[in-house]
Structure 1
Amino acid sequence: MKLIDSLLTEAASMTALRRDLHAHPELCFKEVRTADLVAAKLTEWGISVHRGLGTTGVVGTVHGRDGGASGRAIGLRADMDALPMTELNTFAHASTEPGKMHACGHDGHTAMLLAAAQHLARTRHFDGTVYLIFQPAEEGGGGAREMIQDGLFEQFPVEAVFGMHNWPGMPVGSFAASPGPVMASSNEFRITIRGKGSHAALPHNGIDPVPVACQMVQAFQTIITRNKKPVDAGVISVTMIHAGEATNVVPDSCEIQGTVRTFTFEVLDLIERRMREIAEHTAAAFGARAEFHFRRNYPPTVNHPAETAFARRVLADIVGDDQVLVQEPTMGAEDFAFMLQERPGCYLFIANGDGAHRAAYEGGGHDVGPCMLHNPHYDFNDDLIPLGATYWVRLAETWLGQPRPPSA
């Protein structure tokens, strides 16, 4: 493994920074302290800072030895926000904010990019410009979309943009990167079934929306098994059904909510259309009425082939070919997808291990829970900071050292 020496030297200070971020998590669009810390560090290292894109976003600009005269530029992105959940770890850097937790490793993503920023500012072994994009509100807020709408790529024009996420369960020292769809679209639906309330002992006097809802839930799965092609991935998950207030009352209405995930817009269009048809016609068949609402949140995250191949070559030079794995697509979603719709790039996974790193914490405090994403026992593996930062540095230096890509 070819790690940059200065990043290893700074590993302890960057670990302390990461743990400080972990102890002070902030939710989407409220990353004020986090953004202040990021901006202060970048300024300390002589990096110019722009703030306010996407409300709390921070962009650092590092010009190379040519002062950026070449006009070449690459974007590196890290997310900053935490999740609205309670942490169950009790180690020294556990969350000090009740109901808020860095359970997805965005504290580590921020630390890795800060470590790379410090090294790039010290050395500037490249021509062109590196834009360091610290993004808010990945967890459901669409911070990437908001930064883009605020002019991210107009103010900071990049040839390509790259992102990275830690991935528990993979052995530390490995990465996974693949072209094409790697994360799914994220979409929500809400269906309100309007019936007619009555006494539960006299159901013939009303129109019960509950059996209508049951029919719908079952019928939605036929979209997956009978409407879309078997080789196309798609998920419909009904996660909430709400109806009624008393055991002896047939309710007036029933509400169904859930999520839809796909890797393509074609499958998404099919699922949305068929869900609407099933909801409206099923309700009508029972004499009820359905109000159908479908919201598209994040598009699929689709890696560009040339940029992914480039990233894999950079990774192979750092950790070896055998540690650059195939990226198994996941039905989780990621708003870096918006950036990949605007610029070519690659979003890859860096292995976070199985959670054994928590055993080294003084006094323990991690309980026995799994170290998985969005789990109250999760914690980012600090051993990744110099490794991830090495990738960021070598990626930027190598990208800006090659001829300008045709796509730029």
Structure 2
Amino acid sequence: MDFAFDARTEELRARLLAFMDAHVLPAEATADEQRAALDSPWQTPPVVEELKAEARRQGLWNLFLPDAELGAGLTNLQYAPLAEITGRSPQLAPTALNCAAPDTGNMEVLAQFGTAAQRKEWLEPLLAGEIRSAFAMTEPDVASSDATNIETRIEKAADGSGDYVVNGRKWYISGAMHPDCRIFIVMGKTDPDGADIRRQQSMILVPRDTPGLTVRRAMQVYGYEDHYHGGHAEVLFENVRVPAANLVGEEGGGFAIAQARLGPGRIHHCMRLIGMAERAIELMCRRAVSREAFGKPLAQQGVVQEWIADARVAVEQLRLLVLKTAWLMDTVGNKGAHTEIQAIKIATPRTVVDILDKAVQLHGAGGVSQDFPLAELWAAARTLRLADGPDEVHQRSLARRELKRYR
């Protein structure tokens, strides 16, 4: 076994680490100050555009996309340690590199399933970082952990024009509050009574300015609105009419497209979560050596040493599992890596939440305040125990696969 990164990965890691230290981390406070002075919290702070321009200049752009003609042409294994680095500043770094969700998944969908016209109109400006996008799947009135429950309807117009009419209510639609969000990929049912429940759904492109599409409100996550990623919105579709050419792939292909989209998305989240955990460990260590309690530094308190040691062990375990998963995705495909993708999706958010919780505890009142990034990191990590499928769904599927061998 060779645990070393290849030469290209090492070179990109060095450049990205330097970019983070020189530009991204110092910009965190600046971005917050600028945002407070803007007319709307959803506007992009000027420093973010400066970071994007610098990332493009340095060739640190679209690293997530394996297509060499459209992106950096990296494998999952090559991208994994880079995504981890961006996780140290999840609000700024992914956006600066044009590697932020939900745009990454939407670009992958358009690259893989979009027509030439769809790629020209929507993929190209997304790749250039000129617009943002949203992925509308989750609904408030059904258990969306089971995608076959989706109630949104995508129906042929009654006038015989061939157009589709979309009706439904979605929520926690990431990116929808961003003023540059121009396109929604909407999942709904075109054949609600079809015999195959996994062929009832389709996906369709709905431009933001289409009549009948209403972004009703921003949804909070433990009080945070996630401004940098364009928030998470409740969205209403009322007789939203779009041409048949906006269908992504074929009718009935929505469930399969969603699965294709979510596989890479799940591992990307886990990669960044490891970076979040690394930052938490760094903050714990700095705090432990700089504060005293009961007559000695926190670093000499046995419980603190246990927290730090356990966190380091956990991160090393997670990283190896995520890298193995990335390697499998590259060598046997997402389907062949299904078990490992589910394993990292279960283990990583749960473990990182625990590490962040210990970091919050070590910082006392400061840990839950806005003066440290820990509370917001915790909220983001806790959300990822739900996003892209809750823990229990992955556990159910994983257990079934294990038990099948003994039946």
Q: TM-score range by the shorter chain?
A: under 0.3
Bigger strand share: 1
Bigger helix share: 2
Q: Which has the higher contact order (CA 8 A, sep 6+)?
A: 1
Bigger Rg over Cα: 1
TM-score scaled by length of structure 2: 0.25
TM-score scaled by length of structure 1: 0.25
